[in-house]
Amino acid sequence: MKKLKAYPKSMLTILLLMVLTVLTACASNGGNTTTGNSETGQPDKETPVVETRTIDHAMGKTDITGTPQRIVVLTTQGTETLLELGIKPVGAVQSWIGDPWYDHIKGQMDGVEVVGDETQPNMELIASLQPDLILGTKVRQEKIYDQLSAIAPTVFTENLGDSMIDNFKLFASALNLESEGEQVLADFDKLVEDTAARIGDKAKAEVSLARFQAGQARVYYLQNFAGVVFDKLGIARTEAQQKEEFAEEITKEQIGILDGDVLFYFASDRSGETAASDTAKEWLADPIAQNMKVNQNGQVYQVDEAIWNSAGGIIAAKLLVADIEKYFADIQL
């Protein structure tokens, strides 16, 4: 009988380890040593888990799956939220001033489809863009919410104006960009803090704020876009304008309510028209207005209506802070 060849113990140890390795691999693969796709021969990929989030908003609750890629936005404020977060919408309502966008955002809006304006969005056009998220506001589009929701998940803010920060947070959440949104707001708060420090004691100057339209005027109180920014900067308002309200129409005989240390006003001219600016000049030249302290001190300033009022978004807010600092450099207490 032929004697079997004896192997060294080291060799037997190596062979045993190899067998154990193969058995372990089979067990981890459910007993099947084939780890690739039987048709392609490529390794199987794990199916990613797509998160569905429920967003509470002005019209109720909306489920959004994953991170939306094709967004239609129905407020000019919301358009600025998207742009500041690095997103270009597939469709947006046109700006109140500009053709079709505000000057301060038009460089970022190439290729964006105009879908009407805030009060009359084009439903057919919105549907044709196949959005996976629609962002709007109850104050403008409440009546068409159900129609929009039938096209894509839809999230609405309650209103506009003084709610810019809360609205920004809501849309950032809907976009699945909460952390990026928090950083944007932190940067804005730092800008406000640094600007307030540079303005210093001049913030004690009592500011009056007004809007002129063709043949009429409004005094602007605390609860509006510019009013919120003034408050963040710690800038004083006149006693007559210390109301937790948005605005109120006044007559020419009531123009004295606009007196103070400083008067900022914007005129809502559209498409090259001057009727609003002409009304402002007429009213401020009235004998009652000429007797106001603010006129006699020469501290009446017409400001950019888009930045100070109608845009209402985070980009405009940063520009407004810079504008306020510029004007306050020349203001005398």
Mean pLDDT across the chain, nearest whole number? Answer: 88
Listed range (33-42, 208-217, 299-308) with the worst mean pLDDT: 33-42
Q: What would the mean pLDDT of 4-18 be, rounded to a whole number?
A: 44
| pTM of the predicted protein model | 0.84
Q: What is the DSSP letter of 309?
A: I
Under 8 Å between Cβ of 97 and 117: no
205 CB neighbour count, 10 Å cutoff:
18
Q: Which long-range contacts (C-beta less than 8 Å, at least 24 apart) are formed by 187-191?
A: 188/314, 188/317, 188/318, 191/318, 191/321
Q: What would the mean pLDDT of 154-178 be, rounded to a whole number?
A: 96
Amino acid 3: pLDDT: 43
Q: Is the pLDDT of residue 14 over 50?
A: no
pLDDT digit string (tens) for 60-94?
A: 999 999 999 999 999 999 999 999 999 999 999 99
Cα 244 from Cα 222, distance rounded (Å): 5
Q: Which long-range contacts (C-beta less than 8 Å, at least 24 apart) are formed by 154-159?
A: 154/59, 154/62, 155/55, 155/57, 155/62, 155/64, 156/57, 156/58, 156/59, 157/57, 157/58, 157/75, 157/78, 158/58
Cα 134 from Cα 110, distance rounded (Å): 19
> Helices marked H in the chain — which ranges?
9-28, 76-84, 123-128, 138-141, 145-151, 164-174, 178-199, 225-233, 275-284, 287-290, 293-296, 305, 314-328
Under 8 Å between Cβ of 168 and 181: yes
Cα 190 from Cα 167, distance rounded (Å): 19
pLDDT band at 161 (very low <50, low <70, confident <90, very high): confident
Q: Is the pLDDT of residue 44 over 60?
A: no
Listed range (259-263, 266-270, 291-295, 307-311) with the worst mean pLDDT: 266-270
